[in-house]
Amino acid sequence: MTTPPPPAGIAGPSTARQYNAHQDGKSAYEEDRAVARRLRDLGLDTKLMADQNRAFVLRAVDHTARDLGIDQVLDIGCGLPADSGPNVHTLVEEVHPDARIVYVDHDPLVRLHADALLHGHTATTTFVEADLRDPDAILDAAHQALDFSRPIGLLLGAVAHFIRDEEQPHALVSQLVDALPPGSALVLSHATDDYAPQVIRRAEALLADVGVQSRARSRTTIEQFFTGLHLVEPGLVPVHQWRQPDAEIAAVPPSEVHEYGAVAIKPAPAGESDAELLGDRAYLSSRQEEGVLIVTVSGMVEDREHPPLRDRLNALVDESTKDVVLDLQGVTFLVPAGLGFVLGLRLELEEDGRRLHLLGGEPVHKLLRITGAKVPLHDDLAQALAAAQGKRWRR
Ligand X SMILES: C[S@@+](CC[C@H](N)C(=O)[O-])C[C@H]1O[C@@H](n2cnc3c(N)ncnc32)[C@H](O)[C@@H]1O
User: Which positions touch ligand X (CB under 6 A)?
Assistant: 8, 15-16, 19, 53-54, 57, 76-79, 105-107, 110, 131-133, 157-159, 162
Q: What is the dihedral of CA 207, 213, 216, 217, to 10 degrees?
A: 160
What's the CA gap between 202 and 286, in Å, rounded?
59
Amino acid identity at 284: L
Of 105 and 194, nearer to ligand X (C-beta) is 105
- Shortest Cβ 231–ligand X spacing (Å): 19
Q: Which residues pair with 296 in a beta bridge?
A: 285, 327
Of 37 and 391, nearer to ligand X (C-beta) is 37
- Shortest Cβ 106–ligand X spacing (Å): 4
| Dihedral sign (CA 59, 65, 70, 73) | positive
- Shortest Cβ 220–ligand X spacing (Å): 22
What's the CA gap between 278 and 140, in Å, rounded?
35
Q: Which residues pair with 100 in a beta bridge?
A: 72
- Shortest Cβ 158–ligand X spacing (Å): 4
Cis peptide before 234 (omega within 30 of 0): yes
- Shortest Cβ 84–ligand X spacing (Å): 13
- Say what angle helices 135-145 and 169-178 make with each other, to 10 degrees: 30
- Shortest Cβ 190–ligand X spacing (Å): 10
- Shortest Cβ 100–ligand X spacing (Å): 18
What's the CA gap between 52 and 49, in Å, rounded?
5
Q: How many helices (H) and strands (E) does the chain have?
A: 14, 14
What's the CA gap between 186 and 178, in Å, rounded?
11
In contact, 178 and 184? CB cutoff 8 Å:
no
What's the CA gap between 5 and 8, in Å, rounded?
9
Amino acid identity at 165: D
- Write the DSSP symbol of residue 333: E
Of 165 and 379, nearer to ligand X (C-beta) is 165
Of 222 and 326, nearer to ligand X (C-beta) is 222
- Shortest Cβ 18–ligand X spacing (Å): 7
In contact, 341 and 331? CB cutoff 8 Å:
no
Of 53 and 124, nearer to ligand X (C-beta) is 53
Rg (alpha carbons) of the chain, rounded to whole number: 23
Tallying the residues shown for the chain, one arrives at 395
Residue closest to ligand X (Cβ): 157
Of 162 and 225, nearer to ligand X (C-beta) is 162
Of 20 and 329, nearer to ligand X (C-beta) is 20
In contact, 70 and 151? CB cutoff 8 Å:
yes
Of 4 and 269, nearer to ligand X (C-beta) is 4
Of 132 and 342, nearer to ligand X (C-beta) is 132
Of 258 and 357, nearer to ligand X (C-beta) is 258
- Shortest Cβ 337–ligand X spacing (Å): 31
- Shortest Cβ 57–ligand X spacing (Å): 5
Buried/exposed 88-108: b ≥16 CB within 10 Å, e otherwise: bbbbbbebbeebbbbbbbbbb
